[in-house]
């Protein structure tokens, strides 16, 4: 077993910053570039771990904020940690709760050592800061822990983004100090909004603290795509080449391909399962509402050529019928398909990087992908 935290760069694309890597964790290796399905409430919605595994998922996300509110860390610890609690033996990354504290809770008070906020469930006063986030993630037993940060909204003034970077850095320093170094990895998060100098400063100072990996946060919060990609470009430029880089909350296929070429290795997004619940299929070329009436008699699979369980066995007419009569299986089948599509895209990028043809892959993909912006 290779030491957790080891990151091998197996191939690099000469025409861009894309790389093909392998990150070792306490629950095994993760081949990058990778897409991580989101399991907010200790479940990737509607999927059993077995089904998730069959979609090709290598690593999934858990959520510090939500799991700490319900069922509470004591119960998960009593059940043997998050892996055993949810029956998933492969790697798990947990976010720090920073994003939820700043986006979900209406009433909050930012203090030097964290944030006082009201639970979005019952209004109870709670407190989450770097100490609490590190303690909870340690007890969850996540393979990759995230430092507690302040995620700024879009738009955001320079002054506020600057203050948030300062707070993020001081909280990151405390997280680094509290890192148990027991095989659980710790990633720092680059903030700074749309401001190049703040992104660079944040990345530089985090790098000096020496994390196992680095994330670009505060993106995909409502900004236009060019602004997002510019923040990614500015966010990675000062990061060390030999550590993994994770772009938080981005899951639009075209944006994944663009971000890989900017040097991103890891992604997460709720989109594949959220779209599935709304009856929308993700395909290489576009997204479309398979629940729509026009597919009533369509005998083709959700996507022709897809080898997922849904597409191997069922027609659009059947999946559309399930949604039409509110059968749970519709959501489940479409979740399998959508997650499989994300995995296949990442596998495609990895194979292209291995074969030295990422540039062609990217060009062909972007030409074929007509997804609306
Ligand atoms: Zn499929």
pLDDT of residue 319: 98
Is the separation of the CB atoms in 35 and 343 below 8 Å?
Answer: yes
- 111 alpha carbon – ligand 1 mean position (Å): 47
Q: Which pLDDT does position 149 carry in this prediction?
A: 97
Task: Judge if the upstream peptide bond of residue 179 is cis by omega within 30 degrees of 0.
Answer: no
User: What span, in angstroms and rounded, lies between the C-alpha atoms of 178 and 96?
Assistant: 14
Instruction: Map residue 221 onto helix, strand or coil.
Output: coil
Contact 32, 266 (CB under 8 A): yes
User: Residue 371: what pLDDT?
Assistant: 67
Per-residue confidence (pLDDT) for residue 120, from 0 to 100: 84
In total, the chain counts a number of residues equal to 373
Place of tokens 């629940």: 291
Look up residue 256 and give its two tokens.
């994944």
Rounded to the nearest angstrom, the distance between the alpha carbon of 236 and the centre of ligand 1 is 33
- Look at the alpha carbons of 336, 337, 342, 346 in this order and tell me if their dihedral is positive or negative: positive
How many A from CA of 258 to the centre of ligand 1? 23
Kind of pairing between the strands at 266-269 and 34-37 = parallel
Q: How many angstroms separate the alpha carbon of residue 90 from the centre of ligand 1? A: 23
User: Which residues sit opposite 268 in a β-bridge?
Assistant: 36
Instruction: Decide if 140 contacts 94 (C-beta within 8 A).
Output: yes
Q: How far is the CA of 69 from the centre of ligand 1 (A)?
A: 35
* Residues 151/102, Cβ–Cβ less than 8 Å: yes
Q: How far apart are the CA of 368 and the centre of ligand 1, in A?
A: 18
Closest alpha carbon to 148 in 127, 131, 130, 126 = 130
Which residues place a Cβ less than 5 A from the ion ligand 1?
306, 308, 310-311, 337
Tokens of 291: 């629940």
The whole-number pLDDT of residue 135 equals 98
3-state class of 22 per DSSP?
strand
Q: Cis before residue 351, ω within 30 degrees of 0?
A: no
Low-confidence ranges of the chain (pLDDT < 50): 373
Catalytic positions, written as ranges: 95, 268
At residue 48, the 3 state secondary structure works out as coil
CA of 333 to the centre of ligand 1 (A): 9
Separation CA 93–CA 98 (nearest Å): 14
Q: Which residues contact 323 (CB under 8 A, 6 or more apart)?
A: 279, 290, 291, 330, 331
- The C-alpha atoms of residue 192 and residue 308 are separated, in whole angstroms, by 39
Q: What pLDDT score does 49 carry?
A: 98
H/E stretch holding 310:
helix 309-313
Report pLDDT for 63: 95
Q: Cβ contacts of residue 80 below 8 Å, gap of 6+?
A: none
pLDDT digits (tens, 9 = 90+) for 219-236: 999 999 999 999 999 999
CA of 324 to the centre of ligand 1 (A): 19
3 state DSSP class of 49: helix
DSSP 89-146: -S-EEEE-SHHHHHHT-SSEEEETTEEEEE-TTT--EEEE-HHHHHHHHHHHT-SEEE
Q: What are phi and psi of 323, to 5 degrees?
A: -65, -40
Q: Are 187 and 146 in contact (CB under 8 A)?
A: yes
Q: Which residues are CB-contacts of 225 (< 8 A; sequence separation ≥ 6)?
A: 255, 373
Distance in Å, CA 157 to ligand 1 centroid: 43
Q: Is 78 helix (H, G, I), strand (E, B) or coil?
A: helix
224 burial type by CB count under 10 A (0-12 exposed, 13-18 middle, 19+ buried) = exposed
């Amino acid at each position: 077993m290779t030491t957790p935290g080891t990151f091998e760069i197996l191939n690099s694309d000469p025409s861009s910053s894309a790389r093909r890597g392998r990150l070792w964790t306490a629950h095994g290796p993760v081949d990058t570039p990778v897409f991580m399905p989101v399991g907010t409430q200790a479940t990737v919605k509607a999927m059993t771990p077995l089904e998730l595994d069959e979609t090709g998922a290598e690593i999934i996300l858990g959520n510090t904020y939500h799991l700490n509110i319900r069922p509470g860390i004591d119960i998960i610890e009593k059940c043997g940690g998050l892996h055993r609690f949810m029956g998933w033996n492969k790697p798990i990354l947990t976010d720090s709760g920073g994003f939820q504290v700043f986006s979900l809770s209406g009433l909050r008070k930012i203090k030097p050592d964290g944030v006082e906020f009201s639970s979005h469930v019952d209004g109870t006063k709670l407190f989450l800061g770097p100490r609490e986030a590190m303690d909870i993630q340690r007890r969850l037993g996540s393979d990759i822990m995230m430092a507690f940060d302040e995620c700024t909204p879009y738009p955001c003034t320079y002054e506020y983004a600057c203050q948030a970077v300062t707070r993020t850095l001081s909280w990151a320093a405390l997280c680094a100090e509290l890192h148990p170094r027991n095989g659980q990895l710790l990633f720092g998060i680059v903030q700074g909004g749309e401001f190049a100098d703040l992104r660079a400063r944040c990345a530089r100072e985090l790098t000096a603290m020496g994390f196992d990996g680095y994330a670009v946060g505060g993106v995909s919060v409502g900004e236009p795509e060019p602004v997002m990609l510019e923040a990614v470009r500015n966010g990675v430029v000062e990061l060390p080449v030999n550590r993994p880089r994770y772009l938080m909350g981005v899951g639009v296929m075209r944006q994944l391909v663009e971000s890989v070429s900017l040097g991103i290795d890891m992604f997460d997004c709720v989109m594949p399962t959220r779209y599935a619940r709304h009856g929308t299929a993700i395909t290489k070329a576009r997204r479309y509402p398979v629940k729509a009436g026009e597919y009533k008699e369509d005998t083709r699979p959700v996507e022709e050529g897809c080898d997922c369980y849904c597409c191997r066995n069922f027609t659009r007419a059947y999946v559309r019928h399930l949604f039409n009569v509110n059968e749970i299986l519709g959501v489940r089948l479409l979740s399998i398909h959508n997650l499989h599509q994300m995995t296949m895209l990442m596998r495609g990028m990895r194979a292209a990087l291995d074969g030295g043809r990422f540039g062609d892959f990217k060009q062909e993909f972007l030409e074929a992908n007509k997804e609306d912006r």
